[in-house]
Structure 1
C-alpha cells in the first residue's frame, strides 16, 4: 500500500510538472502570436496600440526613451495589479515581461523583409486588421491558460470580477482611456489606434471562451 501511494505521489508530481510545461508552451505561443500581430500592426504604419500610444505620450512628457516609458508604465500597472489582487501574478506574468519584447523584435525582423510600409494603403489597412486580429487571438490564448496575467489583462480581469461587466467592455474602456491619455500627452496616433482600441477586446472575449473549452478537454 505504501509503495503504491509513493508511486501515485510521483505520478501526481510528474503530471503537475507536465501541466506547467504545457501551459508555459501555450502561453509562449499566445504571446508570440500577439507580438507578431503587434509587429505587423506597426509595419502597416497606421497608428499603434492603446498602450503604445500611452507610452509614447509618457516618453514625451518625461523626456525619456520610449522603451523606458513603456517599461515604467508596465511596472506601474503591475504594482496596481499586485495591490488589487496578487493572485493574478504568476508564471504568465513573468513570461509577459520577458517574452513580448523578444517576440515583437522578431516579428519586426520578419515583417520588415516585406514591402508593407511602402505598399498601397488598402494593403496596409488589411495588414493592420490582420495585426489587430492576431493581437486579440494571441492575448486570448495566454489569458485562457489562467496561469497569471500581464498587468493590463490582469486589471481587466480584476475589474470584471468586481463589477460583473463583460470582459470586452472593460477592455475597450481600458484601451480608450490609455488612448485618450496618450493623445492628451501629444502622442502620435492613427486610424489603426482607434480600430485596435474597439476591436481587440471583443476578439479576446470570443476566443478566450473557445480556447478555454479546448484546454479543458485536454
Structure 2
C-alpha cells in the first residue's frame, strides 16, 4: 500500500506494517531525546550539535529542549537550497526530540560525582545509537542533520567523511565560541557514535525488514 503525502511518499506492505513502523519511529525519537538528556546531564561534554545548542542557550536564555527544536528547524531551512525532500520522520524528528530531551533533563538528577556523570553519558551514548537505529529503520525519512549531510554530498560530490567532518567541526567550533560545553564526552561521542550505530542499525533494519515482509505476506488478498 502507498500513503499519499506532500512529503516523501511512504510505502508499507500493509496497514499493520505502517502502524508498527510509525510506533517504532515515535519510540526511537523519544528515546533519542532521553539519550540527549542523559548525555547533557552527565556534564562531561556533549555531541557537536549539542555544543551548539547549549552555546545558544547560554547566549539567549532559551531552554535546551526549545533550542534543540529551533536548531533543527533552522537546519531544515538549509534543505531548501539543497532541494532536499522531507519525510514525515524528518518533521517529527525536528519537533519531538527537543521536548523529550527537556523531559529527561527535568527528571534526571545532577550526578553526584564525575564517575556517575561519565556513566550517565556513556549510557546516553549507547541509548542514542540504539534510538538512531530504531528511527532510521522505521524508514520515514532522514533526520534534519542527516539530510543536510546527504544534500551537501550531492551538491559538492565530496565524500561522506569529508562532508560530515566539515559539518560537525564547524558546528563544534561555533558552539564552543558561544560558550557550549566541550569535554571528554565530546571526544567519546566523536569516536564512539559511528561504531555503535554500526552495531545497532544493521540488526534493527534486518529485523524490521523481515517483520514488514511477514506482515505483507499475511495481508488478506
**Which bin holds the TM-score, normalised by the shorter protein?**
0.7 to 0.9
What residue number does 1:3 align with? none
What residue number does 1:23 align with? 21
Does structure 1 residue 54 correspond to structure 2 residue 76?
no
Q: Which runs of 5+ in 1 are unaligned?
A: 1-7
Structure 1 residue runs of 4 or more that deviate by more than 6 Å after TM superposition: none
Q: Which runs of 5+ in 2 are unaligned?
A: 3-10, 212-221
- The alpha-carbon deviation at position 54 of structure 1 amounts to 1.0
Q: How does the TM-score come out when normalised to structure 1?
A: 0.75
1:32-53 deviations in Å (ceiling 9; x for gaps): 2222211111221112221121
Aligned residues: 201
Instruction: Check 1:44–1:196 CA distance in 2 against 1; reply closer, same or farther (3 A cut).
Output: same
User: 2:137–2:205: 8 Å Cα contact kept in structure 1?
Assistant: yes
- The alpha-carbon deviation at position 81 of structure 1 amounts to 2.2
User: 2:73–2:94: 8 Å Cα contact kept in structure 1?
Assistant: no
Q: Which protein shows a greater Rg? A: 1
* Aligned mates of 1:42, 1:21 — CA distance in 2: 32
Tell me which protein shows more helix as a share of its residues: 1
- SS of residue matched to 2:179: coil
What residue number does 2:8 align with? none
- The alpha-carbon deviation at position 108 of structure 1 amounts to 2.6
* Aligned mates of 1:170, 1:145 — CA distance in 2: 25
- SS of residue matched to 2:128: helix
- The alpha-carbon deviation at position 17 of structure 1 amounts to 3.4
User: 1:28–1:142: 8 Å Cα contact kept in structure 2?
Assistant: yes
What residue number does 2:62 align with? 65
Does structure 1 residue 198 correspond to structure 2 residue 191?
yes
* Aligned mates of 2:182, 2:203 — CA distance in 1: 32
Give the RMSD, CA atoms, in angstroms. 3.1
Q: How does the TM-score come out when normalised to structure 2?
A: 0.74
What residue number does 1:4 align with? none
1:84-105 deviations in Å (ceiling 9; x for gaps): 2433x11102221232123223
* Aligned mates of 2:53, 2:200 — CA distance in 1: 27
User: 1:143–1:149: 8 Å Cα contact kept in structure 2?
Assistant: yes
